[in-house]
């Protein structure tokens, strides 16, 4: 009789433990998502700007800055969208004609020292989609033209004799060729931008027209008006 009671008690205890074990289980918390790669994020935003998708790039920059508010690359890209490119890059510039294989990012890397300034350079030249850049396009590059590198002389090379004094001074370099037709197109685009309320873009286009046809009174007049409107817009901000 005692053996039967012990067997029954053990079975009851086993059933109770089984019932407790069959209750609802609490799921383990999911691991946090991996942190975004800042360099990859910057590359993705730069690619969006290269396609002219400034509105979507602005939203992505804002989200990325919430995670990394002091990231220099993100801040530069944000300024490229929101600030005046002439203010960022300076008013002084020189002309550059694009060659086959040139990209806005490559030109920015080579001539401005930073590939992330590609969208600034595009806006500086009134180009909304940097990826559409074609060979033969005349761009305005901010700053001074780069100097050609000095020739490297081998240590074992004999010194070259000093050049003889020139008999007469060298003629001044010829001024760049005028292109009234291209200037007229740039002026028309600048006036259209001004009428659309895009004063900064109008200034850039009219400056290009002035460089292509210097001394044209109509272009000079339109450029002065666009610059005054752009200054007034900046003063109201």
Chain segment 27-73, per-residue pLDDT in tens: 555 554 444 688 999 999 999 999 999 999 999 999 999 999 999 99
Helix (H) or strand (E) holding 87: helix 85-89
Q: What is the pLDDT of residue 98?
A: 96
Q: What is the value of pTM for the model shown?
A: 0.51
Which three-class secondary structure state does DSSP give residue 100?
A: coil
CB contact set of 216 (below 8 Å; sequence gap of 6+): 180, 183, 209, 210
Beta strands in the chain (DSSP E): 93-97, 138-142
Average confidence score pLDDT of the chain:
81
In three-state secondary structure terms, 95 is strand
Checking if the pLDDT of 4 tops 50, the result is no
**Residues listed for the chain:** 237
Nearest partner of 71 among 105, 108, 45, judged by Cα: 45
Q: What's the token pair of residue 2?
A: 């005692």
> Quick one: pLDDT band at residue 159, thresholds 50, 70, 90?
low
The region, left, alpha or beta by phi > 0 then psi within -120 to 50, assigned to residue 197 is left
Look at residue 104 in the predicted model and tell me its pLDDT.
Answer: 95
- In the predicted structure, residue 220 carries a pLDDT above the cut 80: yes
């Amino acid at each position: 009789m005692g053996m039967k009671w012990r067997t029954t008690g053990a079975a009851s205890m086993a059933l109770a433990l089984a019932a407790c074990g069959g209750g609802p289980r609490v799921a383990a918390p999911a691991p946090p998502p991996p942190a975004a790669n800042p360099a990859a994020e910057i590359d993705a935003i730069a690619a969006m700007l290269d396609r002219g998708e400034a509105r979507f790039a602005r939203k992505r920059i804002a989200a990325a800055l919430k995670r990394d508010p002091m990231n220099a690359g993100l801040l530069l890209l944000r300024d490229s969208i929101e600030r005046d490119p002439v203010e960022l890059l300076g008013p002084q510039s020189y002309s550059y004609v694009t060659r086959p294989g040139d990209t806005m990012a490559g030109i920015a890397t080579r001539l401005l020292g930073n590939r992330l300034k590609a969208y600034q350079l595009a806006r500086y030249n009134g180009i909304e989609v940097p990826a559409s850049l074609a060979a033969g396009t005349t761009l305005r590059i901010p700053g001074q033209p780069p100097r050609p590198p000095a020739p490297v002389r081998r240590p074992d090379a004999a010194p070259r004799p000093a050049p003889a004094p020139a008999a007469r001074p060298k003629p001044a370099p010829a001024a760049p060729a005028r292109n009234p037709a291209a200037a007229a197109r740039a002026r028309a685009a600048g006036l259209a931008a001004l009428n659309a309320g895009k004063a900064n873009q109008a200034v850039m286009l009219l400056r290009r027209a002035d460089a292509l046809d210097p001394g044209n009174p109509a272009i000079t007049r339109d450029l002065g008006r666009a610059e005054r409107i752009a200054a007034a817009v900046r003063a109201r901000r």
